[in-house]
Chain A
Amino acid sequence: MDALSAAFSLVAGADARLLQIITLSLRVSFSAVMLSTLLALPLGAVLAVGDFTGRRSLTVIVNGLMGLPSVVVGLLVYLLLSRAGPLGSMGLLFTPTAMIIAQAILVTPLLAALTRQIIADVWREYAEQLSSLGATSSQATATLLWDARYSLLTVLLAGFGRAVAEVGAVMIVGGNIDGVTRVITTTIALETSKGDLPLALALGVILVALVLAINALTFVIGNWAQRRLG
């Protein structure tokens, strides 16, 4: 109980260390989702609408990679960025940039798979009408992405939720360096093992609140779009 009340006084007092950790977590995961979006949205749309050989196999692979273990992603990015690795000369290992790259790789299959599902559903409904109106496939794709924009926003929130809550990848490529690469999840892991329970608990409460808020926002957006656009 002492730990718990100490935790709440940390949160209530807006502890500077706590704030720095939270800010980095949000910044890294937000950037990772934005980076991933650039690849995942077009990939998901192409998988939904495209007509090319290997589309089914690629879809199965992308769906399968949704369950990619974050420590494995961390390991792969670590190998890429380590001194002896192919991108070692860039000196990115143990920086927030490395963490952004790792989380972007981690959430890309999730975003692409969810995007594919959403766009495929809208396409099934629109296909004949859009062809009738003479839409080219790039015009049709743009229409589908635009008309599914609110659903896609909830996809991005799901990706953010996954990214902000994962620990394995950022731990490996970030190194959990105090004041540099320490985020909510890695701090919880470290402080718990050190026995500093108040900080770990405070961050745990904040992480849960964050994930709940993301899910509530997803629900609100979905409902609003349904009422607004049908």
Chain B
Amino acid sequence: MKDIFPLQLTDVGFAPDGVSLLHDVQLRIADGARSVILGANGAGKSVLMRLMHGLLKPSSGSVLWNGNPARPAAQAMVFQRPVMLRRSTLANVEYGLKLLGVPKALRQARAEAALAHVGLAHLAERPARVLSGGEQQRIALARAWALEPRILFLDEPTASLDPSAAREVERIVSDIHQAGATIVMTTHNLGQARRLADEIIFLHQGRITERTPAANFFHQPQSVEAAAYLSGELP
């Protein structure tokens, strides 16, 4: 099978109804890294992520996976607010596998393994929507993990969670990365960015101002916008 990497965005712009939310984006995501996208509210982080994941089509420019415009199946996304289907926890995880065309006989075992990875095997038969926000986000991570994605997008996955649930999500994201997935995530939590990121992509008003290894970014940002953001001058 041909590799899906690198993911290459060239001259990407996104301007629904003429309002430019993202412009002139050049970005290359290679296999294996953990990239964290930082930026103020409205900088375009979520839009950039949805363009990469294929939920949005760019108004200009191209999004190519190893030169191919087709959206690969080996990817998954976890949203800020988990969307739980009106089914059991296990059925929620199996659902993604069913869409992926995994034979029925294999689905349950894969879904159960994914639930065990996130520590929720004991809740498999419970209806997912009556569980807590932290548990639902872990189910969403299990649903993504079961797909065995090559790349996982996470859009502020811990923004609605308490600190201990957030730590649990961070642990799971690290495990999914260990299992071989490239990670692209957004967050407003700088501590979390420090803990998880190999590199930081900084967005300001719809434009990437810098891309810096995480080790350098926090004490030596390259762009004035990122420096202002880190010192708390940006909203």
Residues of chain B lying within 8 A (CB to CB) of residue A148? 86
Whether the Cβ atoms of B83 and A228 lie closer than 8 Å is no
Q: Is A134 an interface residue (CB 8 A)?
A: yes
Question: B86 touches which one: A129, A132, A134, A230 (CB < 8 A)?
Answer: A230
Whether the Cβ atoms of B99 and A133 lie closer than 8 Å is yes
Nearest A residue (CB) for B129: A230
Q: A229-B127, A229-B129, A230-B130 are in contact. Are A132 and B87 (CB under 8 A)?
A: no
- Give min CB distance, A173 to chain B, whole Å: 40
Residues of chain B lying within 8 A (CB to CB) of residue A126? 83, 85
Question: For the complex, what is the distance from the CA of A132 to the CA of B56, rounded to whole Å?
Answer: 10
Question: For the complex, what is the distance from the CA of A132 to the CA of B77, rounded to whole Å?
Answer: 7
Nearest A residue (CB) for B130: A230
Q: A147-B85, A147-B86 are in contact. Are A132 and B76 (CB under 8 A)?
A: yes
| Residues of B in contact with A, size category | 20 to 34
Q: Is B55 an interface residue (CB 8 A)?
A: yes
Question: A134 touches which one: B79, B83, B100, B128 (CB < 8 A)?
Answer: B100
Q: Is A135 an interface residue (CB 8 A)?
A: yes
Interface string of B65-103 (1 = CB under 8 A from A): 000000101001101000111110000000110011000
Classify the secondary structure of B's interface with A: mixed
Question: For the complex, what is the distance from the CA of A228 to the CA of B83, rounded to whole Å?
Answer: 17
Q: A132-B55, A134-B99, A139-B99 are in contact. Are A229 and B86 (CB under 8 A)?
A: yes
Classify the secondary structure of A's interface with B: helix
Q: Is B53 an interface residue (CB 8 A)?
A: yes
Interface string of B120-145 (1 = CB under 8 A from A): 00000001111000000000000100
Q: Is A51 an interface residue (CB 8 A)?
A: no
Question: For the complex, what is the distance from the CA of A128 to the CA of B129, rounded to whole Å?
Answer: 17
Total number of A residues with any Cβ neighbor in B under 8 Å: 17
> Which residue among B53, B76, B96 has the maximum number of chain A CB atoms within 10 Å of its CB?
B96
> Which residue among B77, B79, B83, B84 has the maximum number of chain A CB atoms within 10 Å of its CB?
B83
Residues of chain B lying within 8 A (CB to CB) of residue A132? 53, 55, 76-77, 79
Q: Is A20 an interface residue (CB 8 A)?
A: no
Whether the Cβ atoms of A135 and B99 lie closer than 8 Å is yes
Question: For the complex, what is the distance from the CA of A227 to the CA of B130, rounded to whole Å?
Answer: 8
Binding site for A on B (CB under 8 A): 53, 55, 71, 73, 76-77, 79, 83-87, 95-96, 99-100, 127-130, 143, 147
Binding site for B on A (CB under 8 A): 125-126, 128-129, 131-135, 139, 143, 147-148, 227-230
A-B contact pairs, 28 of them (CB 8 A): A126-B83, A128-B79, A128-B83, A131-B55, A132-B53, A132-B55, A132-B76, A132-B77, A132-B79, A133-B76, A133-B95, A133-B96, A133-B99, A133-B143, A133-B147, A134-B71, A134-B73, A134-B99, A134-B100, A143-B85, A147-B85, A148-B86, A228-B127, A229-B86, A229-B129, A229-B130, A230-B84, A230-B127
